[in-house]
């Protein structure tokens, strides 16, 4: 069974540009999470999808970040326009269905974003 | 403000030594997890503890959840070079609420075991 995949693995963009990160969860996993690790800091929660709905987006830094999960399968995280402080590693994780219950999250390898 | 304080941040030891990594908080967690992360990969779950005072063992690794569910520790006995890596603790607050699955991470401990 394929694990969580993320694309691209690395992205280097200039300040002000737009970048879209993609996450493909494990097939059948309704829960999809986005996390981010900024250099020198801990991994922080960004948001949680249940199927195509945003369950919790309390960790989204600001309105330059837009996450979507059309059809409840893969998800995209767009940063527009990118700022220097957006640099970091963005992780996606998925877990099986189970409303109000937490199951093991499987993490993707992450996308390393560098904004110059 | 760091919700989960993990220590030490770096640990360099010789093969065969024992070590303990700590994760502390002033908040109560409904569960606490330990992950290991290799370079270029995402965190991989090692164990989940949910009951105060719970102790779980995974070969040479022993995980403990504090009685008050505010702290946890990871103890490795007779460390081997293959144990080298980044270890992360992560906790979940308010299980059963609308933010289920939302993990709060510690900063991580980079462990190096020298042959």
Residues A109, B40: C-beta atoms closer than 8 Å = yes
Residues in chain B: 115
Angle, CA of B87, B89 and B91, to the nearest 5°: 160
Interval B43-86: pLDDT, tens = 999 999 999 999 999 999 999 999 999 999 999 999 999 999 99
Backbone angles phi, psi at B82, to 5 degrees: -65, -10
Count Cα neighbours of B113 within 13 Å in the Cβ-side half-sphere: 17
A99, two tokens = 């409303």
Rg of chain B, C-alpha, whole Å = 14
Q: Band of the pLDDT at B8, cuts 50, 70, 90?
A: very high
Min Cα separation A69/chain B (Å) = 18
Which neighbouring-strand residues pair with A66? A78
- Cβ-based contacts of B45 with chain A (< 8 Å): 104-106
Residue A54: helix, strand or coil by DSSP? strand
Q: According to the model, what pLDDT value does residue B101 have?
A: 85
Which run of H or E residues covers position A76? Answer: strand A75-79
In this prediction, the residues of chain A whose per-residue pLDDT falls under 50 are none
* Residue for token pair 């919790």: A56
Residue of B nearest to A103 (CA): B101
Q: Are B113 and B81 in contact (CB under 8 A)?
A: yes
A51-80 pLDDT tens trace: 999 999 999 999 999 999 988 899 999 999
**B99 touches A at CB < 8 Å:** yes
């Amino acid at each position: 069974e394929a694990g969580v995949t993320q694309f691209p693995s690395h992205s280097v963009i200039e300040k002000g540009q737009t970048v879209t990160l993609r996450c493909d969860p494990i097939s059948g996993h309704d829960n999809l999470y986005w996390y981010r690790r900024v250099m020198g800091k801990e991994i922080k929660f960004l948001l949680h999808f249940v199927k195509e709905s945003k369950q919790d987006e309390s960790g989204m830094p600001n309105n330059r970040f837009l996450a979507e999960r059309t059809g409840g399968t893969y998800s995209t995280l767009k940063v527009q326009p990118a700022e220097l402080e957006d640099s970091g590693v963005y992780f996606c994780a998925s877990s099986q269905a189970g409303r109000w219950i937490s199951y093991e999250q499987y993490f993707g390898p992450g996308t390393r974003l560098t904004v110059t | 403000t760091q919700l989960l304080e993990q220590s030490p941040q770096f640990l360099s030891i010789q093969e065969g030594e024992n070590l303990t990594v700590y994760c502390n908080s002033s908040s109560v967690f409904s569960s606490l997890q330990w992950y290991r992360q290799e370079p270029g990969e995402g965190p991989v779950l090692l164990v989940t503890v949910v009951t105060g005072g719970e102790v779980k063992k995974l070969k040479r690794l022993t995980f403990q959840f504090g009685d008050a569910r505010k702290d946890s520790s990871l103890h490795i006995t007779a460390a081997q070079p293959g144990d080298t890596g980044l270890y992360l603790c992560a906790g979940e607050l308010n299980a059963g609420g609308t933010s289920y699955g939302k993990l709060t991470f510690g900063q991580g401990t980079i462990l190096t075991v020298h042959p």
